Structure 1
Amino acid sequence: MKQAQRWTVRSAAALVACAFLVFGLSPTRSASAHGFSSTVYVDIKAGGQAGHVRTTLDLEYDLFIVSVADQEHDDPLYRAGMPAWDDGDLPGQEKALNDHVDSAIAYLTHRFAISAGGTTCTPTRVGRFDVHMRDVPYTTITLDWTCPVQEHDPHHEVRSSLFGDDEGFVKGVETIATFDLDGRSGSALLDAKNPSFCIQQSLGQRAWEFLLLGAEHLYGGLDHILFLLALIAGSRRLREVVLAATAFTLAHSVTFILAALGVVAAPADLVEPAIALSIAAVAGWHIWRVVTRRSHASDIARSTVGRFELDRSGWARLAVVFAFGLIHGLGFASALGIDEAFSWPLLSSLLVFNVGIELVQLAIIAAVFPVLALLRHRAPMVGLGVTTLIATGVAVMGLVWFVQRAF
């Protein structure tokens, strides 16, 4: 008995350690896992004549206003632009930027550049700033770059430090670039660790960047991690949690890709509360089984076992998880601001992004589920109590987030 008690203590300590790894090392976020960074979009194409490159940049409006006002010391821009943002006045936002076009362009060209053969190209503004809605107001501007004409491959390089960590407003801003230049097309990711890329970089290098981006988005998104923990806590066998995680991945991949193709779209005001509610619902499923079946909550109804050795309850739970996975896919798409059709090369990169998400899911399952399984095997009532405690905490957090996001 004493040995069993000692084992239980060690198991509980291991579980706490796993929780520390998942939560303690995860970046701190509030109720919304997607609102404390930003994504810049850049489309890069060959210009109409030799040595010309055209770039179209899409940046989050309010962050752009704050950064330009601060970095270029243009307080009048802030005083004109932010009230228009507060009022949701898109024409007013456009007017504020176009009235202060010199400082706005100065900020862009200090923080974003194209070079060819090691020589920085010269930018020229094309047209006016346009403001439009993604989930939040974004502003678009086109720049033409005049580069030195070379006989051989110019080896164009793109550099970006837009909204850098050093500005102190947000952290971890990513720039997603799509390009069709130098006879190559594809997509690339720029961030603080990788602020530049060469058009000639290998497909493997670009894929690795998006793989890491997917891993970081799940690991840094507390709501998605809590959803996964709710799945783990309520799974009676390894088979169930693996199938549930697979169903979740397939589902969010479907909506993620459809969003990237412009087939589906949903505002964050609806998606974020729905994600929070799904967290509470999956956690509540396990709590309901414990309340109604008590010590038999982990039992499997052998009389209803079918394909994949899942009973009726297991199949019902799998269907619910798949449905909620569709909602989470919209959340991942919203996190990257995906609400319009992109190029097929970018779509392939987004598929790699999903692989990164799946790898982190598997890592969390590998860290947490074996400890819970051993605990339930050696001390069933203690294991049931621990999983119920986890599910209760997750359900409460999900409900709190739902109220915050909905109201």
Structure 2
Amino acid sequence: MPLRTTARTPARLARLAPAVLLLALALWPAAASAHGFSTTVYADVTQPERGHVRVELGLEYDLLVVSVADTQHVDALYQEGQAAFDDGDTAAMARALADHPAPVLAYVTERFGVASGDAACTPAQDGDVTMTRREGVPYAVLVLDEACPPSDGSHRITSTLFPDAEGYVKDAKTVVSYDLDEQHGSAALDPSHPSFSTDQSFLAETWTFFRLGAEHLLTGTDHILFLLAVIVGSRRLREIVLAATAFTVAHSITFVCAATGVVDVPARVVEPVIALSIAVVAAWHLWRLRSPVSRYGTLELARGPLGLDRAGWLRLAVVLCFGLVHGLGFAGALGLDRELSGSLLWSLLVFNVGIEAVQLGIILTVFPLLALLRRRAPRLGAWVTGAVAAGVAVMGLVWFVERVTTG
């Protein structure tokens, strides 16, 4: 019997809920962090006085524990550190690292170094390890005092932290914010480009941050699922253009404000809301599928300002509001921490352009296929987009619960 309205679609999709839930739970171990299988180290490098360089390193806690325990053969650190991580006890995490300072320092300094001219600086730990959170994940903060030989040249910074060979993550990155040699700048190091000099070219820094922005969206499963929810809920080119524009404007505003310190919202707030935004936008599409196919499943839309009906404008407002929160997440991923300057603003702009390039590429790939499907087979299009939205909504709820309970 042919399907006459999509009013039945939610009920039929509900029958698929157990399968969707099982799929989401199967993906949970790989996707709970929404940026799985890779990591980012954050380094803030300054020069308080001649001959000394201060390095503040932020390293993902559980990864640091297993890497140090494995490479330095410290089983006690693994047992103590993982127990603290499983309990979500931040103070206990800091104590676990403080109880084993030598292997932690050895692991880090063997893979992160500063050189002045051609001579390596000598690192020493400054103070105790402290804890913070980035994108909902516990990070250990380790401060190094690098004693450097006198030199009138530039400094070179090298990072091979968490290499692929360890088998825990792939393509680990180190985002460096530096104030050295009377220069302010930023760099992103990875296995292909493990070091840089403070006299790097402007073009090299620009390409670095474009690539970093593009890779962040590509590896950020939560941001991609949000974008997918926006795409499947858009019926016409006009709708996706307006929704993408609203999302871009919103996240660009909060991204710049958060990265420059104008606003500061804790990750424990930002990350659950990002997860909730995925579920809400996807569920919005499911709710609208209650309308008859002649009004929603096809391209026949109600008339209104800019071709949007009331529900379309409400959806646009929802995307705009949640875009503001995603901007805070992008800023947390970039991790730059220095005073506002022309160099910083340029890095932020280029990083954002990298994000937009990937976002546009995803839209240009997915939306035309869905539009063609809706035009050729409206009812099948409603089923496909509904099934996708259901899966995305469930995944968003899984992340929301996980981030609230571990935040």
Report the CA distance between 1:85 and its aligned residue: 4.5
Give the residue type in structure 2 aligned to 1:357: I
Distance in structure 2 (CA, Å) of the matches to 1:47 and 1:224: 38
Q: How many residues align?
A: 371
CA drift at 1:128: 2.2
Give 5+ residue unaligned stretches, structure 1: 1-27
- Alignment-derived partner of residue 146 in structure 2: 145
Alpha-carbon distance in structure 2 between the residues aligned to 1:180 and 1:53: 10
Q: Which residue of 1 aligns with 2:20?
A: none
Cα separation, 2, equivalents of 1:401 and 1:137: 16
- Paired with 1:313 and 1:98, the residues of 2 have a C-alpha distance of 55
- Asked whether the 8 Å contact 1:29–1:221 carries over to 2, the reply is no
> Is structure 2 residue 179 aligned with structure 1 residue 180?
yes
* 2:129–2:143 contact (8 Å) kept in structure 1: no
Equivalent residue number for residue 323 of structure 1? 321
Q: Show the counterpart of 1:312.
A: 310
Question: What is the rounded CA distance, in whole Å, between the counterparts of 1:238 and 1:91 in structure 2?
Answer: 51
* Unmatched runs of 5 consecutive residues or more in structure 2: 1-28
Query: Partner amino acid for 2:139?
Result: Y
Quick one: structure 1 residues 38 and 371, their matched pair in 2 at CA, closer, same or farther if it must change by over 3 Å?
closer
Q: Note closer, same or farther for the CA distance 1:285–1:83 as it changes in structure 2 (3 Å cut).
A: closer
Aligned partners of 2:125 and 2:144 also within 8 Å: yes
Q: Secondary structure at the match of 1:59?
A: strand
- Kindly state the Cα deviation for residue 232 of structure 1 after the two structures are TM-superposed: 1.8
Aligned-pair distance for 1:112? 0.8
The 8 Å contact of residues 62 and 82 in structure 1, kept in 2 or not, is answered as yes
CA distance in 2 between counterparts of 1:272 and 1:141 reads 24
CA contact (8 A) 1:39 1:337 kept: no
In structure 2, the CA distance between the partners of 1:282 and 1:62, relative to structure 1 (3 Å rule), is closer
Provide the rounded CA distance (Å) in 2 between the counterparts of 1:281 and 1:389: 15
Q: 1:68 to 1:147 in 2, by over 3 A?
A: same
Give the Cα separation in 1 of the matches to 2:252 and 2:91: 36
TM-score (norm. length: structure 2): 0.80
Q: Which amino acid is 1:192 matched to?
A: P
Q: Which residue of 1 aligns with 2:116?
A: 116
Report the alpha carbon displacement of residue 237 of structure 1 after superposing the two structures with TM.
1.6
Separation (CA, whole Å) in 2 of partners of 1:155 and 1:238? 51
Correspondence for 2:392: 394
Give the residue type in structure 1 aligned to 2:150: V
Alignment map for 1:62-141 (pairs within 5 Å): 62-87=62-87, 90=90, 92-123=92-123, 125-134=124-133, 135-141=136-142
CA-CA distance at 1:351 after TM superposition? 3.2
Q: 1:33: Cα distance to partner?
A: 0.8
* 1:187-232 Cα distance to aligned partner (Å, 9 max, x none): 1111222211111112221222222122122222233222222222
Distance 1:272 1:42, change over 3 A: closer
Aligned partners of 2:254 and 2:96: how far apart in 1? 36
**Residue in 2 that maps onto 1:43:** 44
Superposition TM-score, scaled by structure 1 size: 0.80
Q: 1:131 to 1:362 in 2, by over 3 A?
A: same
Structure 2 contact 180–198 (Cα < 8 Å) conserved: yes
Deviation per CA, 1:339-393, whole angstroms, max 9, x where unpaired? x776544454233222211111111111122222233334444444433343344
Q: Which residue of 2 aligns with 1:227?
A: 226
Taking the aligned partners of 1:320 and 1:136, their CA distance within structure 2 comes to: 26
* 8 Å CA contact 2:175, 2:335 repeated in 1: no
Task: Give the equivalent residue in structure 1 for 2:24.
Answer: none
Question: Matches of 1:76 and 1:371 in 2, distance apart?
Answer: 54
What is the rounded CA distance, in whole Å, between the counterparts of 1:281 and 1:89 in structure 2? Answer: 31
Indicate the larger mover: 209-218 or 277-286. Answer: 277-286
Map Cα deviations across residues 227-251 of structure 1 (whole Å, 9 max, x no partner).
2222222222212101101111222
Contact 1:131 1:137 in 2 (8 A): no
C-alpha root-mean-square deviation of aligned residues, in Å? 2.9
Pick from 354, 374, 389 the counterpart of residue 352 of structure 2.
Answer: 354
Contact kept, 8 Å, 2:210 with 2:354, in 1: the verdict is: yes
Q: 1:31 to 1:299 in 2, by over 3 A?
A: farther
AA of the residue aligned to 1:147: C
